[in-house]
Structure 1
Amino acid sequence: MNAKTVDETIARAAAERRSALSEIESKRILEAIGIATQMPEPARSADEAAAAAERRGFPVVLKVLSPDVTHKSDIGGVALDLASKLEVREAFARIRANLSQKAPDARFEGVAVQAMAAAGLELLAGIARDPQFGPMVMVGLGGVFVEVLKDTAVRIAPVDQREARAMLAELRGAALLDGVRGTAAIDREAIVELLVRISELAARHTEIREMDLNPIAAYASGLSVLDARILLEHEVKDAACAQLPAPEAAALQVRRQENLRRALKPRTAVVFGDRGTRDFQWLRALGNFKGKRFSVQPDEKEGAAIEALGISNFRTVSEIGEPIDYAIASVPRKIAPQTLAQCAAAGVAGIGFFTAGFSETGDPIGIELEAELKKIASGSDIALVGPNCMGLCNPGLGLLNSANLLAGEAGDVCFISQSGTHAISFCMQAPGHAIKVSMAASIGNALVLEAADYLDVMASDAATRAIGIYVEGVRDGRRFFESLKRATARVPVLVWKGGVTDSGARATFSHTGSLATPAAVWRAAMRQSGAVEVSGLEPMLDAIELLTRARPVRGRGMALVAMTGGQSVVISDTFASQGLQVPALSEASYAEFKSFFQVIGGSYRNPLDAAWTIGPRSSEGQDKLDRVLDILDRDPVIDAIVMEFRPGLNFSGPRRPIDVKESIPLLDKLASFAQRTHKPFALAVESQHVSPDVRATVVAGAAALARERGLATFDTFARAAGAFRAAAEYFERAGALAKGPNAVG
């Protein structure tokens, strides 16, 4: 790589205050980083163009040279397949006339003359800058594929060889790269190398705002960039907006995160501004707090009522006389800044502001007050949570952010949410999935501490086994991306993104003041970081239950054990729609099934229709259940097993009242299998055989009994399929990232 050529070319344009490089300058940069181009020769007159064409060899291409023209074709600035000097002279005059007519203010600096390239597969590639995530790299099939089908793949730059190969494989027209109808396969590795090199260029040179390589001719051996355009952005830095020096800012961030750790596992907590008119909701939420709790309420009447509850009340936090790990502020917004300043001065580690009415409202006063909060927090190492949030939760310590939640055992799952409702809902629903929440954070407007900070803290905790996130937008996307990568290297991270549609994005702004991230860029960030997207609260709970309660999902081949044959096609389609496979079993498995499986009323094709073979009405049913599961456990084409579980003693037969406790012996047997198998095993508690009036209680009771025995359990096959998809994606991405940049897969 010739870095000097790149630096000098960009510096020259910057000195001239030009925002666009010429095609020749753009290609000079590409050649400098080792990418083959069709390098043109400039010509300022028709005679010079004719002479250049003769030197290059006919046929040739002419393209307008103008610093004021970005899209040459739009103004008739390109002439192709010129076979003689006469045609070149005529094309020169035509291009000049077109520029004068369609862009009269544009400067004409002649034409670029280059030889016509040999025909190849047409591709395009480029780089751009996303406001949140920074430099991006893109590749796509050219022509109609990009214009009509939008067949492109996007990643955050820089990318390595493995990620570049994944980009090519992602294209809907990827089969064309391997040759069709007698055409030769193209040199994929040449495209891979191009993507790696331009992505590295984008990461190194922040001045490059956009690069468009279109078209690229790809051949059986090598490639050639036929046209190139680079746009620059010269930043004018205002000294008044100078940031803290990087080392100082980094040290302050470390101290804030240490304070956040204290706040998430507090030994002392204080509530500011709780009132009787709200039934002292925050002090009641801390009713089972294992540490010391205090109140700061200067109103004498309210203070007396708080003291009557057995809680020490003070007029200011400095009067408490003990180090405070976490404060909850439920104060009017106008006094929020002075409350924060008081806590920062007193050395409070962290404070969560339930108080709302800031930038999310669009109200000038709210915006001004939020700016004041940010200024105070930015000059301190206090961990400011929110504002406009429900704050922190640690059920094992009795630190709850809602009086509707219950304290519990120490957990191993964390949750981060920009929505207070979703944070409370997750903590409320988690126990029903045998999920024990360790730490949860409702982060609201995230003024100083962003999702990345909570990720860093929670992922570094030794007890954490999985993290869920609900996020509507991020201010520093690159930092969030890097935090995700660090977190997913240790534990699964499930991300639920709000605001992925235009209307959703508008709602996001009114809710938290965050900016929506374009969907393609967001998907790239998730894929490259190793995080997995889910579409809602239930899919997130399902996926976390599977990831924390079952064996790792190391493949997509599913064995499905159903109790009726009628649903086989439907559940196969359900799993296939999630990108999972329901393969035919191995011949050895079929041979063994043939020796004992009841095929009258059943089938041992995958999915298995197993009720008449393993049901309790068969005298050998329980032994056959073990045989069925052991066969699937041994089968090399099967990676995971999901079995339908029907509450009650019988899988079929006359209807009668169902006592879910009758299922305990069967559940014990299934739990024993789950312990001895090396494959992930889960239950789907289908309930269509149960009358609607008792369905909810029966299914809930059976599921609870199953989860008590450590079995991952889902209400339907459909929800099981979604969970297995998410888990498979996590382990696939984690495995690919662990292989390193040169991995082929």
Structure 2
Amino acid sequence: MNAKIVDETIARAAAERRSALSEIESKRILEAIGIAAQMPEPARSADEAAAAAERRGFPVVLKVLSPDVTHKSDIGGVALGLASKVEVREAFERIRANLSQKAPGARFEGVAVQAMAAAGLELLAGIARDPQFGAMVMVGLGGVFVEVLKDTAVRIAPIDKREARAMLAELRGAALLDGVRGRAAVDRDAIAELLVRISEFAARRAEIREMDLNPIAAYASGLSVLDARILLDREVKDAARGELPAAEAASLQARRQEKLRRALKPRTAVVIGDRGSRDFMWLRALDNFKGKRFSVQPDAKEAAAIEALGITNFRAVSEIGEPIDYAIASVPRKIAPQTLAECAAAAVAGIGFFTAGFSETGDPIGVELEAELKRIASRSDIALVGPNCMGLCNPGLGLLNSANLRAGEPGDVCFISQSGTHAISFCMQAPGRAIKVGMSASIGNALVLEAADYLDVMASDAATRAVGIYLEGVRDGRRFFESLKRATARVPVLVWKGGVTDSGARATFSHTGSLATPAAGWRAAMRQSGAVEVAGLEPMLDAMELLTRARPVRGRAMALVAMTGGQSVVISDTFASHGLEVPALSEASYAEFKSFFQVIGGSYRNPLDAAWTIGPRAAGGQDNLDRVLDILDRDPAVDAIVMEFRPGLAFGGLRRPIDVKDNIPLLDQLARFAQRAHKPFALAVESQHVPPDLRAGIAASAGALARERGLATFDTFARAAGAFRAAAEYFERAGNSAKGPIAIGC
């Protein structure tokens, strides 16, 4: 890169207090960073334009030069295909008149003259700045594809060539790049190189607010930028948060994270401010805490009631006399700052504030109290959780943040949530899905510790096999993005995002800026980091169950085993609608099936209609079940297997009251297969044959028996499909290289 040209061009615009570079200035910068551009010649009069056109060679293009014009075409500022000096002079005057009429007061500095470029595939590309994630790079097909279809791909800058090629493949019109109707394929490598260069430039130069390269002509060999404009930020704000030097801020963050580790696995815990009017909810939530439990409550009447519960009470944290790993504060908001200061002075490792009524209310007093909390925490390395949150949870240690939860075994799944409700709901529902929660955090207003801090701590824990996150937004998107990349290199991370819409899209001077919406930035962060988005709590639990109970999902080709023909058609559509495939099996598999499969009333085409071959009334059904599943496990066309499970059903009708325990031998047989199989295997419980008044209980009991045997089990085929889609997406983004933490079993 020729940094001197870049510096001089930007300095000149800054000196003139201009935020927009002209087309010529923008193209000089492009050439300085190694991107081919059609460099125009400026002309201030009609005669200069005609002379320049003759030098360039006809036909030519004229474009208005005005620092006050954003979109040249909108004001009639572009003339194409001019074939003579006469046409050039006429176009010059027409452009000047159009500017005067359609943009009164806009300065006219002449026109840019350039030769008409050879026809190529029209693209656009550029950079924009997202308020959360910083520099973004965008590419799209030109013309109607971007104007109407919004056919673009967006990534966080910088990117490498692999990511650039993935952007091109993502476009709905990607087939056009390979040539259609006799047109040659375009040079994808050249386009990828352009995206890499502008993304690296954007990441290095914070003063570049937007870059709009539109159109770009892509050819069989190379490309050319036909028009370009760059927008500058006059005042570049320091990206570093806070006032501490970078090294000191990083050291402080590391110390806070270390204290957060202590708070998530505490040996000592104290509840500050619990009261009888709330039935001592926080102290009771710690009834099964495996460490030492204390109370701080200066009110004599409340203190006596606490002591009657067998809990040692103190008037102040400083009186406890031993290190405190985690404090739960349930105090009036007006004394929250004082409580935090006392805990920091007493070297408490972490404190979670259930106390609410801060900035989330918009109340000036609450806003100021929250600011005071942040000032105190910023001067300390205490791990401040919240405020306005349910705090930390570790069921294996009996550290609970709700009396409705139960202590359990040490777990391997973690959850981070801005919503206290979702954090409690996840921990409450997980055990019923055979998901063991290791650590959970309700982070509330996240004043000092953000989602990135919790993710760094949880994902780096040796016991963690997967992390789920519920977020509505992040303050420092770039730091969260980097944390996601670190985490997903080791374990799956599932993200449920509240409030993702394009309604926040802003009108800017360029196509690039207007298309780089907040939603596009969030999707780019997920895709690039390797995290997988889910659309709610149930899809989160479904994907978690599959990721922690089954083998890695290394592809999207599904073998489906159904018990009726009609069901097999429906489930095939269901899996396809989730982006999964239901392929034909190998000829070798068909040859094996042909030797024993009952085709009267059944079929061994994928999905299999298998009731009369493997069902309770089938001759040799138990042996046939093993044969069917083993054939599918060997088949090279198949990546995963899902089987329909009908609890209590004797195929052909219900002959007696349903007892799901009758299915235990079958479930044991399926569990043995899951253990020996090389591919992920799951059950989809089908209970439509059960009377409505019994259906929920029968399905729940059957699912519980299956999960007790280590089988990933879903209430419907649709939920199974959603889980397999999420798991496949994770392993695709991880490059099929994830290892270690993802293995079958509990």
**If the length of structure 2 is used for normalisation, what is the TM-score?**
0.96
Q: Residue 151 of structure 1 contacts residue 171 of structure 1 at CA under 8 Å; is this kept in 2?
A: yes
User: Separation in 1 of the partners of 2:306 and 2:440?
Assistant: 27
Hey, what does 1:511 align to over in structure 2?
none
Matched, 1:205 2:236: no
Aligned to 1:547: 547
1:433 aligned residue: 433
- Residue number in structure 1 paired with 2:309: 309
**Which residue is equivalent to 2:511?**
none
Distance 2:428 2:133 in 1: 33
Report the counterpart of residue 235 of structure 1 in structure 2: 235
Matches within 5 A, 1:463-474: 463-474=463-474
The answer on 1:267 being equivalent to 2:279 is no
Deviation at residue 653 of structure 1 after TM alignment: 2.9
Q: Which residue of 2 is the match for residue 79 of structure 1? A: 79
Contact 1:37 1:226 in 2 (8 A): yes
Q: Which residue of 2 aligns with 1:161?
A: 161
What are the within-5 Å matches in structure 2 for residues 51-70 of structure 1?
Answer: 51-70=51-70
Give the corresponding residue for 2:532.
Answer: 532
Of the structure 1 ranges 347-356 and 92-101, higher mean CA displacement relative to structure 2 is found in 92-101
Q: Which residue matches 1:24?
A: 24
Q: Greater shift after overlay, 726-735 or 647-656?
A: 647-656
The question of whether the paired residues in 2 share the 8 Å contact of 1:415 and 1:467 is answered with yes
How far the C-alpha of 1:74 sits from its partner, in A, is 1.8
Counterpart CA distance in 2 for 1:652 and 1:12 is 84
Separation (CA, whole Å) in 2 of partners of 1:334 and 1:484: 36
Q: Deviations over 1:487-533 (max 9, x none)?
A: 0000000000001237899xxxxxxxxxx982211111100000000
Counterpart-to-counterpart distance in 2, 1:477 and 1:403: 34
The answer for the alignment partner of 2:582 in structure 1 is 582
Query: Displacement of 1:15 after TM fit?
Result: 2.7
Q: Is the 8 A contact 2:206 2:236 kept in 1?
A: no
| Aligned counterparts of 2:341 and 2:611: Cα–Cα separation in 1 | 67
Q: Distance in 2 between matches of 1:308 and 1:420?
A: 30
SS of residue paired to 1:567: helix
8 Å CA contact 1:22–1:67 kept in 2: the answer is yes
Change (3 A) 1:494 1:595: same
- Measure, in 1, the Cα distance between the counterparts of 2:372 and 2:301: 30
Q: How far does the alpha carbon of each residue in 1:332-382 deviate from its partner, in whole angstroms, 9 at most, with x for none?
A: 111111111111111111011111111111111111111111111111101
Distance 1:659 1:236, change over 3 A: closer
Q: 1:19 touches 1:233 (CA, 8 Å); kept in 2?
A: yes
Q: Which residue of 2 aligns with 1:346?
A: 346
Are 1:451 and 2:443 counterparts? no
Indicate if the aligned counterparts of 1:649 and 1:662 stay in contact, CA closer than 8 A.
no
Structure 1 residues 142-157: aligned runs within 5 Å: 142-157=142-157
Task: Provide the C-alpha distance between the structure 2 equivalents of 1:390 and 1:238, rounded to a whole number of angstroms.
Answer: 34
Alignment of 1:61-460 (within 5 A): 61-235=61-235, 243-460=243-460
| Aligned equivalent of 2:521 | 521
User: 1:501 maps to what in 2?
Assistant: 501
| 2:562 is the alignment partner of 1:562 | yes
CA distance in structure 2 between the partners assigned to 1:497 and 1:313 by the alignment: 41
For the pair 1:695 / 2:705, whether they are aligned, the reply is: no
Task: For 1:654 and 1:281, locate their aligned partners in 2 and report how far apart those are by CA, in whole Å.
Answer: 48
> Does the CA contact (< 8 Å) of 1:560 and 1:607 recur in 2?
yes
Identify the residue that residue 683 of structure 1 maps to in structure 2. 683
Query: What is the distance in 2 between the residues matched to 1:20 and 1:308?
Result: 72
Please list the CA deviations of residues 559-610 of structure 1 after superposition, one character each: whole Å capped at 9, or x if unmatched.
Answer: 0011111111110010001100001111111111111011111111111111
Partner in structure 1 of residue 513 of structure 2: none
With 422-431 and 558-567 compared, the bigger mean Cα shift is at 558-567
Between 643-652 and 714-723, the greater mean CA deviation after superposition: 643-652
The change in CA–CA distance for 1:738 and 1:16 in structure 2 (over 3 A counts) is farther
Q: CA deviation at 1:104?
A: 2.7
Partner of 2:735, secondary structure, is: helix
What is residue 612 of structure 2 aligned with on the other side?
A: 612
> Which AA in structure 1 matches 2:126?
G
Contact 2:562 2:644 (C-alpha < 8 Å) held by counterparts: yes
Q: RMSD of aligned C-alpha atoms?
A: 1.8
The verdict on how the C-alpha distance between 1:99 and 1:363 changes in structure 2, with shifts beyond 3 A counting, is same
The 1:209/1:736 distance shift into structure 2, 3 A limit, reads farther
Q: Does the C-alpha gap of structure 1 residues 313 and 32 become closer, same or farther in structure 2, counting only changes over 3 Å?
A: same
* Residue in structure 1 matched with residue 12 of structure 2 by the alignment: 12
The alpha carbon displacement at 1:9 in A equals 1.6
Structure 1 residue 240 displacement after superposition:
14
Residue-by-residue CA offset, 1:171-228 (whole Å, 9 max, x unaligned): 1111111111111111111111111111111101010000000011111111110000
1:592 alignment counterpart: 592
Contact 1:62/1:78 (<8 A) preserved: yes
Distance in 2, matches of 1:392 and 1:237, equals 35
CA distance in 2 between counterparts of 1:504 and 1:329 reads 36
| Rounded Cα–Cα distance in structure 1 between residues aligned with 2:732 and 2:429 | 28
Equivalent residue letter for 2:594: K
Q: Which amino acid aligns with 1:96?
A: R
Shift of 1:619: 3.8
CA distance in 1, matches of 2:106, 2:72: 12
Alpha-carbon spacing, 1:517–1:243, altered in 2? closer, same or farther (3 Å): farther
Question: Is residue 2:661 matched to residue 1:661?
Answer: yes
Distance in 1 (CA, whole Å) between partners of 2:496 and 2:400 is 23
- State the Cα deviation string for residues 375-413 of structure 1 (Å, max 9, x = none): 111111011111111000000000000000000000000
Q: Which amino acid letter does the alignment assign opposite residue 559 of structure 2?
A: A
Which amino acid is the alignment partner of residue 336 of structure 1?
A
Deviation digits for residues 107-158 of structure 1, max 9, x if unmatched? Answer: 2221111001111111111100000000001111111111111111111111
SS at match of 1:474: coil
Report the Cα offset of residue 649 of structure 1: 6.0
Q: Post-superposition shift, 1:243? A: 1.2
User: Matches of 2:588 and 2:466 in 1, distance apart?
Assistant: 37
Secondary structure (helix, strand or coil) at the match of 2:602 reads: coil
Greater mean deviation of Cα atoms: 85-94 or 679-688: 85-94
CA-CA distance at 1:234 after TM superposition: 2.2
Deviations along 1:655-690, whole A, 9 cap, x unmatched?
Answer: 421111111111111111101111000011111111
Letter in 2 for 1:289: F
Letter in 1 for 2:709: R
Residue equivalent to 1:2? 2
After superposition, the C-alpha distances for 1:437-457 in whole angstroms (9 at most, x for unaligned) are 000000011111000000000
* Distance in 1 separating the partners of 2:334 and 2:274: 16
Determine if contact 1:75/1:98 at 8 Å carries over to the other structure: yes
CA contact (8 A) 1:411 1:436 kept: yes
What do residues 296-319 of structure 1 show as CA deviations (whole Å, max 9, x unaligned)?
111110111001101111111001
Change in 2 beyond 3 A, CA 1:236/1:411? closer
- The 2-side partners of 1:73 and 1:229 are apart by 14
Amino acid at match of 1:102: K
Match of 2:509 in 1: none
AA in 2 matched with 1:262:
R
Question: In the superposition, relative to structure 1, how do residues 240 and 684 fare at CA in structure 2: closer, same or farther (>3 Å)?
Answer: closer
> Kindly tell me: are residues 593 and 237 of structure 1, through their superposed partners in 2, closer, same or farther at Cα, counting changes over 3 Å?
closer
**Counterpart Cα distance in 2 of 1:229 and 1:308:** 74
Distance 1:307 1:317 in 2: 16
Deviations 1:22-76 (A, max 9, x none): 1011001111111111100111121111111111001111111122222212222
Structure 1 length normalisation: TM-score? 0.96
Q: In structure 2, what is the Cα distance between the partners aligned to 1:160 and 1:152?
A: 18
Which amino acid in 1 is paired with 2:208? I
* Cα separation, partners in 2 of 1:678 and 1:731, compared to 1, 3 Å: same
Aligned residues: 729
Structure 1 residue runs of 4 or more that deviate by more than 4 Å after TM superposition: 236-242, 502-505, 736-739
1:263, 1:349 within 8 Å by CA — same for their partners in 2?
Answer: yes
Q: What is the letter of the counterpart of residue 343 of structure 1?
A: C
How far, CA to CA, are the matches of 1:680 and 1:145 in structure 2? 40
